């Protein structure tokens, strides 16, 4: 593509997209890169994927390329498999369907690029580029991108009534691009925030997850000021938010009037976002940091994440990180405390929890991290599987009858090893197991 010398020559996905454009043009159609990839290219960022828009109809696209998948054929999207890549090709369309609230199965294919761009959400997402690098930018998206402004295409009120998710998208793009939401667009969001309750939780989740990895302070500011925050997190009611960080000005009486109010909650969310923002952009870590700063209890954490339809693995790892944040100061821990801690919480949750603690302690200077690294390096066992003996050994060598007793003895051996890490060898552990087994046989029936 002309004028894009900085592009890495090895971007095979980009090459594949160019091939698709060339092929469509050769067959007499119009073809453009559109949407997010054009925005990212103008920012000098490497796009995740390249979307192509064309006036060719879906079956014409399918006939033109030897390998295609009808990904979203009803909406005009065909995936073209080419050069080991998969490029989404979508026929120019409008979404008049939204106006009478029907499903977008009613999309109308159109012949002009401009109509297709007009259905898109924001000016920065409504640009197209042909394969020679010529920009089509009827809504001045490039200027908004340069001046860091998120502006709805067309009448903002109407666009949010058509699809309320766009309000969250506006905030998400503002956070990702460190941009401001343009005034009219912003006022429309404030007016229509309530419509968000009608949007599928999965769509809200996808936007929220992208916010977690962008500038959280920007997102939370807009979410709080628009009234969207309690819609994204309805479980975090004002009384669930702990007051520990509330300002003390104005005396105790003023303070207790303030705690629990919407202003108080918004302020606490902003503090939490500023905090989480300082952590690496790992979603579970940042989500845990937000909840921890807000001081919400574990049941509320789980309810919030499940309501957002977050996958179980995500809910589990956020909960694990929160559980791994200790009440005592790790700087005072003995080697044995560290061993028990790492064993109980596992490596990843421990690392993330300590990142949160380190960030929260102004005087830390990486001390906690260094202690953690040392403890991880020296950790003798991470699970019962790391013991130098297993259940079969106990059954074979000590004639312990198979059954729950074997598991109980193994559990004792892990505790023993965490107290005496040098003892994690076959000889020591079998000797210890023998003692435990004798003890059990001698009547206590308890190891």
Give one DSSP letter per residue of 367-416, joined into a string.
HHHHHHHHHHHH---SSGGGSS--HHHHHHHH-PPSSHHHHHHHHHHHHH
> Residues near 338 by Cβ (< 8 Å), separated by ≥ 6?
330, 371, 372, 375, 379
User: Nearer to ligand ATP by C-beta: 210 or 434?
Assistant: 210
Q: Angle formed by the axes of helices 404-419 and 426-439, to 10°?
A: 130
Q: Angle formed by the axes of helices 404-419 and 391-398, to 10°?
A: 110
Structure tokens at 313: 């693995």
**Residue choice 17, 97, 107, 120 for contact with ligand ATP (CB under 6 A):** 120
**Residue choice 97, 165, 289, 418 for contact with ligand ATP (CB under 6 A):** 165
Smallest gap from Cβ 196 to ligand ATP, in A, equals: 13
User: Nearer to ligand ATP by C-beta: 209 or 361?
Assistant: 209
> Residues near 168 by Cβ (< 8 Å), separated by ≥ 6?
196, 199, 204, 207, 208, 228, 232
Alpha-helical segments (H) within 126-279: 141-146, 156-162, 165-177, 183-192, 201-212, 216-226, 229-232, 251-258, 262-277
**Residue choice 36, 76, 230, 380 for contact with ligand ATP (CB under 6 A):** 36
Q: Draw the binding track, 183-222, toward ligand ATP (x: CB under 6 A; -: no contact).
A: ---------------------------x------------
Q: How far apart are CA 379 and CA 28, in angstroms?
A: 66
Q: Angle formed by the axes of helices 216-226 and 165-177, to 10°?
A: 150
**Residue choice 13, 93, 151, 166 for contact with ligand ATP (CB under 6 A):** 166
| Segment interacting with ligand ATP, rule: CB under 6 A, options 67-75, 119-127, 230-238, 283-291 | 119-127
Q: Draw the binding track, 273-312, toward ligand ATP (x: CB under 6 A; -: no contact).
A: ----------------------------------------
Q: Which three-class secondary structure state does DSSP give residue 71? A: strand
Smallest gap from Cβ 235 to Mg ion, in A, equals: 29
Q: Which uninterrupted H or E stretch holds 90?
A: strand 85-91
Smallest gap from Cβ 355 to ligand ATP, in A, equals: 26
Q: How far apart are CA 127 and CA 207, in angstroms?
A: 21
Smallest gap from Cβ 213 to Mg ion, in A, equals: 14
**Residue choice 36, 58, 330, 380 for contact with Mg ion (CB under 5 A):** 36
Q: Draw the binding track, 43-82, toward ligand ATP (x: CB under 6 A; -: no contact).
A: -----x----------------------------------
Select from Mg ion, ligand ATP, none the partner in contact with residue 25, using the beta carbon and a kind-dependent cut-off of 5 to 8 Å. Answer: none
125: contact with ligand ATP by CB under 6 A: yes
Select from Mg ion, ligand ATP, none the partner in contact with residue 309, using the beta carbon and a kind-dependent cut-off of 5 to 8 Å. Answer: none
Residues at the site binding Mg ion, with contacts judged by CB under 5 A = 36
Residues at the site binding ligand ATP, with contacts judged by CB under 6 A = 35-36, 48, 120-121, 125-126, 163, 165-166, 210
């Amino acid at each position: 593509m002309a004028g894009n010398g900085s592009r890495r020559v090895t971007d095979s996905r980009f090459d594949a997209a160019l091939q698709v454009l060339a092929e469509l043009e050769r067959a007499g159609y119009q073809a453009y890169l559109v949407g997010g990839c054009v925005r990212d290219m103008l920012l000098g960022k490497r796009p995740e994927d390249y979307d192509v828009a064309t006036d060719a109809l879906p079956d014409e696209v399918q006939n033109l390329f030897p390998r295609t998948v009808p990904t979203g054929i009803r909406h005009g999207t065909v995936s073209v498999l080419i050069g080991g890549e998969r490029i989404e090709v979508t026929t120019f369309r409008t979404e008049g369907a939204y106006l009478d609230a029907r499903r977008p199965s009613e999309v109308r294919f159109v012949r002009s690029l401009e109509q297709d761009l007009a259905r898109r959400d924001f000016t920065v997402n409504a640009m197209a580029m042909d394969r020679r690098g010529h920009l089509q930018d009827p809504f001045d998206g490039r200027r908004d991108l340069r001046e860091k402004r998120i502006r709805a295409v067309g009448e903002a009120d109407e666009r949010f009534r058509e699809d309320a998710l766009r309000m969250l998208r506006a905030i998400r793009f503002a956070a990702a691009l460190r941009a401001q939401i343009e005034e009219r667009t912003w006022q429309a969001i404030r007016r229509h925030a309530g419509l968000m309750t009608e949007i599928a939780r999965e769509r809200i989740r996808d936007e929220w997850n992208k916010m977690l990895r962008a500038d959280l302070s920007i997102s939370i500011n807009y979410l709080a000021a628009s009234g969207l925050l309690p819609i994204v997190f309805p479980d975090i009611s004002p009384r669930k938010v702990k007051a520990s960080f509330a300002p003390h000005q104005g005396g105790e009486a003023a303070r207790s009037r303030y705690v629990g109010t919407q202003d108080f909650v918004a302020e606490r969310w902003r503090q939490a976002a500023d905090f989480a923002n300082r952590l690496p952009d790992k979603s579970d870590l940042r989500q845990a940091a937000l909840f921890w700063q807000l001081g919400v209890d574990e049941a509320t954490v789980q309810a919030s994440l499940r309501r957002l339809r977050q996958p179980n693995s995500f809910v589990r790892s956020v909960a694990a990180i929160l559980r791994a944040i200790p009440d005592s100061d790790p700087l005072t821990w003995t080697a044995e405390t560290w061993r028990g801690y790492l064993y109980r919480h596992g490596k990843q949750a421990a690392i993330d929890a300590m990142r949160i603690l380190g960030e929260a302690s102004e005087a830390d200077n990486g001390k906690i991290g260094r202690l953690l690294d040392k403890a991880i390096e020296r950790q003798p066992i991470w699970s019962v599987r790391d013991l130098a003996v297993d259940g079969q050994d106990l059954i074979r060598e000590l004639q312990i009858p198979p059954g729950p007793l074997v598991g109980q003895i193994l559990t004792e051996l892990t505790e023993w090893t965490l107290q005496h890490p040098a003892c994690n060898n076959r000889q020591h552990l079998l000797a210890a197991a023998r003692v435990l087994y004798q003890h059990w046989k001698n009547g206590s029936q308890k190891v």
